[in-house]
Amino acid sequence: MNQKWSRRLLYAYPRRHRAEYGEEMLDVLAECGGGPRESLDLVVSGLRMRLGALGALWTTPEWRDALAVAALVAPLLMTISTVWFVDSTVRALTGELTTGPGYWSGFAGRVPLWTSWAVIAAVAWWGGVYGRRFAAAAVLALCVYMFTGHTPLTLSMYGTMALSLVVPVVALAGLAFSDGPRRGAQVLGRRVTVPMVTVAGLTFAAQGLVGLQYPLGLHLLSGETPYYEYAWVIMLGVLLLNGLRTASGRRFGALLVAPLLDLGHLVAVPWPRAAEVAVALLLVLALGVRSRPRPAA
């Protein structure tokens, strides 16, 4: 194994490791004589080290709490979508909503998918550790189901792509790597949790009972679905009430605003989405920069 090739393989390691051991490792590699197994071991060890560093990042208390908040809010957002999809389907069945060709095979055909969110949220909240594991497994299955093309990308035309695929991923991370939605409620405190759940409850009432689908009229500006509109209200509410005040809140903000960077929809509806994506990008950058750990003194 020549030194140039060995040096290239060392790029599998984090910069800190290369600076500390790089030259020493090159010496040992030269003495060992190299070979394909040495090369493979170098790359695998380097990647494991990088993954380990990534895992360590998520185990800090601030990130664990941020993920716990995600485990609370993300399933709640998706549960709201459940109500909206079910409501639309009922309206279509009763003839109140005019449906085009392909409605039943596409849009409403996904109702079983969306309704599962209510079950997942309930299990995650009441099921303890095993409930969270079950919920995480269910979300993973849903993500795979959606990612493998069962929810077509054209859904982005309706503004729900970002929230339909990426929010589940955020929910999955929250359910799998945190202490669960109850901890999320503790982190947010009553001052945030109660208004948030109230807004969610009002959403159910407004959509399911009164039939009020566009309370803020934002769809007139961007053509978004009411579900998307409610999601914005809740996410921004959580951010304003909690996100800018605490370290875990800022990390949660970065987690939950990221899905709004829906580039697929940006192509479909350039102007209003460009403004939204720009705002979301600024928020992610601002929150992400503020979320960086302070260097040790």
Partner 1 sequence: MQEPTFLILTALAAGPQHGYGIITDAAEISQGRVRLRTGTLYAALDRLRGAGMIEVDREEVVDTRMRRYYRITAAGADALAAEVRRMRHGAETAARRLGTAGGLA
List contacts with partner 1 (CB under 8 A): 17, 20-21, 23-25, 27-29, 31-32, 37-38, 41-46, 48-49
The closest of 186, 170, 178 to 242, measured between CA atoms, is 186
> Closer CB to partner 1, residue 45 or residue 186?
45
The closest of 280, 131, 121 to 204, measured between CA atoms, is 121
**Residue 38 C-beta: closest distance to partner 1, Å:** 6
Contact status, residue 35 vs residue 1, Cβ threshold 8 Å: yes
Separation in Å, CA 251 to CA 46, 246, 267, 285 = 27, 9, 28, 11
> Closer CB to partner 1, residue 29 or residue 256?
29
**Residue 55 C-beta: closest distance to partner 1, Å:** 14
**Residue 11 C-beta: closest distance to partner 1, Å:** 13
> Closer CB to partner 1, residue 17 or residue 219?
17
**Residue 143 C-beta: closest distance to partner 1, Å:** 31
> Closer CB to partner 1, residue 29 or residue 280?
29
**Residue 35 C-beta: closest distance to partner 1, Å:** 9
> Closer CB to partner 1, residue 29 or residue 166?
29
**Residue 244 C-beta: closest distance to partner 1, Å:** 35
Separation in Å, CA 24 to CA 7, 27, 31, 46 = 11, 5, 11, 15
> Closer CB to partner 1, residue 37 or residue 190?
37
